[in-house]
Structure 1
Amino acid sequence: MSADALLPLLKSTFGFDHFRGRQSDVVDRVMARERTLAVMPTGAGKSLTYQLPAVALDGCVVVVSPLIALMHDQLRGARAAGIRAASLTSVDADGAETRQRYRDGELDLLYVAPERATGEGFRALLEAKTPALFAIDEAHCVSEWGHDFRPDYRLLRPLLDAFPVVPRLALTATADKHTREDILFQLGIPDDGLILAGFDRPNIRYAIRPRVTAARQLVEFIAANPGPGIVYCPTRSGTERLAEQLAKATGRRVAAYHAGLDAEVRSRVQHDFVASEDGIVTATVAFGMGIDKPDVRFVAHAALPKSIESYYQETGRAGRDGDPAEAMMLWGADDFAKARMRLSELPEARVPGERVRLNALAALVETVECRRAQLLRHFGESPPGRCGNCDNCLDPAAQVDATVLAQKLLSAVYRTGQSYGAGHIEAVLTGRSDERIVGRGHDKLSVFGIVAGDEARLIKPLVRTLVAREALETTEHGGLMLGPSARAMMKGEAPVLIAEPPVKRTKREARGGAGAGAANPIGDPLFDALRSVRRELAAEANVPPYVIFHDAVLRAMAIEKPATLDAMGTIPGVGAKKLEAWGDAFLSVIRHF
């Protein structure tokens, strides 16, 4: 049965008239019982490629997923669409009942963690009734080249091979060429089984800025972006401190999340965030793959992420519903300094690969070209030169040739003994004589006072660039010393181009428009009333509001004002089960307007 033959089932189950992107290609391979790796961007509808076959096929689709929270979020969505779904996890009290339902053929979907899937007891369950399909979600976890490698994923191959006639579908949003090749090998999928749907998330606006005062910059960013959001912080203490600052400054509900909190606290923070329509979480990367919330309107990084792969996945948690969303990263030279110091703690074999990743991040934050193009080229794509939806495209900065200034700065670092911080070097270069400079004789150096005027304001951004490019490194006590790239720059063999520092703008100008929240007509009485009844229904059903209907569905209702259930059923995203369960409640609201 082809994907096209499943269109009526797609409409009745999920409320959609057609497939999106490469979904139909993936479903075609699944229905033909072929082995497939689908690399699809977050928000492209990966789960539908196994949930729809789960309804169409005889037997149960077994889904391997890395996190319990992620499984349970997907479970709620599947059940709301009328799919018979269950999970086997350490927190599920109905394990015996779920196993029996599986044996009796009463399940369409069964979610399981990799550590449970590789146990003998689970294999015995599958031997009693062969599954219809294996779906391996977050498949990049199987690769040591992936940024979230999990050894338990490496143990899945024997289970898959024990059922050679069962098709297997691996899914991920984040895998560069090397990682994709490793996933194919590790999971026994042929090269021609790769479906690459692309990495572009055109609804996300990317912005990367030097970190000046993180709390203030984030407050301005959040003020321009109503709706739920995530702020990633590098440390546990930072999440708590920033949560307190942002809550006080914005009046929004802000909660901290990190691995050091009690499990009960983490569970409550995640539950409240998933259920909210405007909550904010400040989190370490522990707040990761378990977030299956489609209406996140912004993701911010208070510091440099681990890699471009991590950045792509973390920012990808914004705008999964396809509506406009924003991603902002703040970075500083100390981020790169700390990251390079951590390289010394890694096994020697991993250092070259991690250095390549860090240099790729440096290129992303430094570029004056299109951010999206830089990001997509990293994953092997050939995008247009301008996307029109990143900071460099919307507000392009002029490029400044700072090669001569870089030579002066590096010379000053060398001549002062490679042990002083950026502030001291700047003072020497600009000729600011103080007790410390005079006492060390630095006012007698040839580099003293050789920078003046407009050139002086380029020193701070130049230091960030030189640290990012390994021309400068930090000493144990926070000073600057020459790095491996310094020699070529000092000899004029490596030009140094940097972005013209922006002129300080007013708060209104800095916000740059209506922000991501403009997608929702908040203030429209009908839309607000529909959201209100959605909150009530979600509370009654004990599910997040988006499980009832996404904002895009409510917008369509507010615009089209359907007068009957049949008319409401034509709106994309309104499937038969949801229409039966909640259609009358929304019709009642619409009839009052």
Structure 2
Amino acid sequence: MLQIADFRQYNSTLLVHATQTTLDEPEDVDPEIVATHAQFGHSVNVAHDHYGLEGNQALTRLAADSIARMQKVSRNWHAFIGLLHPLLVKSVNEELQVTDSVFFPNKVLIITQLQLISVSGPPVTKAVLTSELKKTREALQTAVTIKMDHFNEILCKKMEYGYTEIRENLIHIHQTPNFSNPRRTPVHPSTLFALRRALGRNFDGFTSPEQAELIQSVGSSLHVFGIIETGGGKSMAFFAAPHLLPQSLFIVVSPLKALTADLERRLRETGVSGGVWKPDEPMKWESVQLVLASVDHCAGQRFLRYIQNDPIKSRLRRVFFDEAHKIHTDTNFRHCFELIHHLVRTGVPITFLSGSLMPRAIPYILRIMHISDPSIVDEIRRETHRPNLKYIIQKTDEERHFATLKGFIGEKMIQLDSHERGMVFTASKREADMLGSQLGIPVYHSDLPNNARTAAATLWHNGVLPTDRFIAATEAFGAGINEPHVKIVIHSNPRSLINFVQETGRAGRDGDPAHCYTFFHRLPPILSVQETEQYGDPSAQMEMREALQTLHCFRLTFRCMDGKARSCASLPKAQLCSNCEEYAQVGRMILVDTTISKVYSYI
């Protein structure tokens, strides 16, 4: 379709060459000629400045009947939209009485428009223009409003991403050092043979080079950070230690009661002499090989006096701190963690184990533990991604959030087989209690008494009834639980990426695909610059906020965990996250459309 300027240029050229006239005001006083010129809608000066191509010879050979036809069509469409010059109404009326040709589409409407013009004259034209201008203005306002809303949304996201980048620069203003020690003891073949002989069918070999190096490090004199993905076999380091050094004593410090109970169950299966240290129960320190102790007990003077006695101190070879990221993230136990540095004074090396310890947390832990010499520290780190986990993120309406969550759990609960399990991690203890009471599933959180927590964990572990195979819990149940067939993990309004990685890490520990669903209606609050400078966002709260909003691959928001991240598509045999799944669907649609086009083209 011609633009208005192109149309006027074209029409002016036709007028010049077909009617042997000029763009100047006509000398003839014939009203019809004057009216014809008036149809151009501009002055003589404008005509000369913009459309005055009187020397153009390109259209001189156009047939006169073609020119006449074009002029009639143009004039009749002007009549149709009610913008015909009043002086031309008479000629059009006369033609309408004698013809019904293609020059007069919608003849009845044209007659009506002409009648209105004849009666009212130019004011009708003004009214039509006013009406059309009003419609156009309203349409433009609507379009601008929609565009501005979209622009504001994009701007807010860009500003938040900019804030995230500034915050990351503040966190990394001093580059996090690499504590990987070049003097690390190589893995000896005797380590592999000793474990096969001691553990038999319970040991199929090392799951990764990093696990092998971590197990080998139990005999070294270095403080070791062992960061391996959840389900990657970190706990084998302390369960294997008594088999490699049977005359030695090892202590495992646990920050969570649920984890301690799970480790005690697993300890009984290994055949290693040991148990949980309790202040009021005696323990045969002279023969025990592995002692499990909670963090609050380890911070007490009574425990420190025990391990500093000569018979015990001479046998104590290493202390393992399981789920060591809690030293950085858990404010509830911070006073205990600040006292545990007394363990370092004994001269015993410590191994810090975690599946979600960020590189930026290591200097903080070394400071808390009063370890100032980096040459006696080793960092064994394996990428913490889990390719077999499928992450699905869904935003919910605030008023319908709980109903959506409850309905989804009820639907998934009846789909689990007798050996499969599901978990839902809530943002509050109250929400966990509500799910437990309305769905009849076990509940686990720190406000419950010990016997109630133990009963809930046992009920879920046994899974006799369909309602027993799902558990509602807070982060108190989110670390170290080694249930192999957890197929579904659900989160409600998560706030910490560290806890999110730990809790989703309960899923798929058998290596099979598992689903991790997240329902949220609110984002974690933004940390102030002062908070970031003082504490450094230990729980990765801002990274969790970014993860919930990202339009790109969900896994890329995990870069704070290892200093790098990989997308779903780049990981071999990885489950696609919900964002990548959408992109894949678009790609498949494009491929199908392209294929269909090629088939039709061939036909």
- Superposed pair shares fold, TM > 0.5: yes
Match 1:36 to one of 215, 220, 224:
224
* C-alpha contact (below 8 Å) 1:208/1:330 kept by paired residues: yes
- State, as a whole percentage, how many aligned pairs show the same letter: 26
Query: Which structure would you say has the larger Rg?
Result: 2
- d(CA) in 1 for partners of 2:535, 2:243: 46
1:271 equivalent in alignment to 2:454: no
> Are 1:314 and 2:507 matched, yes or no?
no
Q: Which residue of 2 aligns with 1:362?
A: 545
- Determine which of 128, 147, 152 is the counterpart of 2:336: 152
Contact kept in structure 1, 2:484 and 2:510, CA below 8 Å? yes
* 1:198 aligned partner: 383
1:258 maps onto 2:445 in alignment: yes
Could you report, residue by residue, the CA deviation over 1:339-362 in whole angstroms, capped at 9, with x for unpaired residues? Answer: 439x69x99577885599444223
Match of 2:303 among 107, 122, 135: 122
Which one has more relative contact order, counting CA pairs under 8 Å at least 6 apart? 1
Q: Distance in 2 between matches of 1:35 and 1:340?
A: 36
Q: Which amino acid aligns with 2:296?
A: E
Which residue of 167, 181, 196 corresponds with 2:363? 181
For 1:223-262, list aligned pairs within 5 A: 223=414, 225-226=416-417, 227-247=420-440, 254-262=441-449
Q: Which residue of 2 aligns with 1:402?
A: none
Q: Secondary structure at the match of 1:116?
A: helix
Q: Is the Cα–Cα contact under 8 Å of residues 195 and 244 in structure 2 kept in the other structure?
A: no
TM-score of the aligned structures, taking structure 2 as reference length = 0.56
TM-score, with structure 1 as normaliser: 0.57
| Correspondences of 1:391-540 after superposition (within 5 Å) | 391-396=578-583
1:219 corresponds, among 383, 394, 410, to: 410
Please tell me whether residue 110 in structure 1 is matched to residue 291 in structure 2: yes
**Contact kept in structure 2, 1:232 and 1:300, CA below 8 Å:** yes
Q: Which residue of 2 aligns with 1:132?
A: 317
| Residue 256 to residue 142, structure 1, CA distance change in 2 (3 Å) | closer
> 1:199, CA displacement in angstroms?
0.8
Equivalence for 2:98? none
Letter in 1 for 2:406: A
Residue correspondence of structure 1 range 67-106 to structure 2 within 5 A: 67-89=256-278, 95-96=281-282, 98=283, 101-103=284-286, 106=287
Higher-helix-fraction structure = 2
Report SS of the residue matched to 2:442.
strand
Aligned mates of 2:458, 2:416 — CA distance in 1: 21
Q: Which runs of 5+ in 1 are unaligned?
A: 248-253, 400-593
1:72-130 CA distance string (max 9 Å, x none): 3212212212111211136xx6x21x1xx212xx2110111223223333233222322
SS in 1 for 2:427: coil
- The answer (yes or no) to whether the contact 1:157–1:186 under 8 Å persists in 2 is yes
For the 8 Å contact 2:299–2:339, the answer to whether it is kept is yes
SS in 1 for 2:564: coil
Output the CA distance in 2 between the equivalents of 1:115 and 1:355.
Answer: 21
Aligned partner of residue 340 in structure 1, secondary structure: coil
User: What is the aligned-residue RMSD (CA, Å)?
Assistant: 3.2
Secondary structure at 1:294's aligned position in 2? Answer: coil
Query: Does structure 2 retain, via aligned residues, the 8 Å contact 1:205–1:326?
Result: yes
Q: What one-letter code is carried by the residue in structure 2 that aligns with 1:371?
A: F
Q: CA deviation at 1:235?
A: 2.8
User: Using a 3 Å threshold, how does the CA distance of structure 1 residues 183 and 295 change in structure 2: closer, same or farther?
Assistant: farther
Q: Any conservation in 1 of the 2:543–2:557 contact (CA below 8 Å)?
A: no
CA–CA separation in structure 2 for the residues paired with 1:46 and 1:378: 16
Is 1:170 the counterpart of 2:352 in the alignment? Answer: yes
User: Partners in 1 of 2:212 and 2:365 — Cα distance?
Assistant: 22
Gap change, CA 1:273 and 1:230, over 3 Å in 2? same
Aligned equivalents of 1:200, 1:286: Cα separation in 2: 22
Q: Which residue in 1 is equivalent to 2:125?
A: none
Distance 1:86 1:44, change over 3 A: same
Residues 225 and 380 of structure 1, relative CA distance in 2, 3 Å threshold: farther
